Amino acid sequence: MAKTQVVSVALVTGGARGIGRSIAATLAARGMGVMVADLLDTSECVEQIRASGGKAMGVCADMADPGAAKEAVLETVEAFGRLDVLINNAGMHPQGRGWPPLREMELEFWERIVRANLTSTAVSSRAALPHLDNRTGRIVNMSGGGPWGREWASTYSHVAGRAPYMAAKAGIEILTRVLWEEEKDKGIVVTCLRPTIRIALDYEPEEIRARHPGPGILMPHVLWLLSAGAAEVGGRVYEFDGERLRPVPYLS
């Protein structure tokens, strides 16, 4: 396979639609080569990027599977010649109010949600780290669902029934700090974005998209996390409430 020459390269997991698709298109529009990885069909996202003059490829991969994640990374390096950025966006979000409380939850259900969100982040990072450039390497982990600190009990009581999702997202934030401590001497910056507002995704009904902002509202903050200095964003979780981006104090 002939390599496509680009200045920098990003692998975006969960990039076929929603926030991941918006991130992939945003990075490609700024001249980056983008590999879109997803269990879903990535062709529409890739075609959209290419139609706008960007460089993108797609790979069907379960990024929680070590073999599949390793292959996705290798395909990225083979296609573009390098890897600079990993966006850990893959995950599974609870829809509706039908999730059972923990006492009634099947272990298989718990494991499936944690695997899609937290395990995929760890496995993808592990696969990408040996290939990330030590001068420009960046990992941005996507969190969500609300704060996990002192505000949680009073502000987010409505998360009852979301135990595996919330536990996985909290784990992603702690993993961000741990990875940064492990990799900072190698020049790899690891950071995290936690949106706390409702984001309307491209596949949701029109009435929802009319009431809530789309993923585009997050893109300036994703770009800032990729460009800000290591001392400012390394190991930190930044929360965006729809108006202000701020570091989460307990992980600062």
Q: Report the catalytic residues.
A: 165
What is the spatial distance between Cα 169 and Cα 119, in angstroms, rounded to a whole number? 11
| CA-based nearest residue to 18, from 115, 99, 119, 87 | 87
Would you say 188 and 182 are in contact if contact means Cβ atoms under 8 Å apart?
A: no
What is the spatial distance between Cα 234 and Cα 137, in angstroms, rounded to a whole number? 12
Task: Calculate ∠ Cα 193-198-202, nearest 5°.
Answer: 95
Contacts of 239 (CB under 8 A, 6+ apart): 147, 194, 195, 196, 245, 246, 247, 248
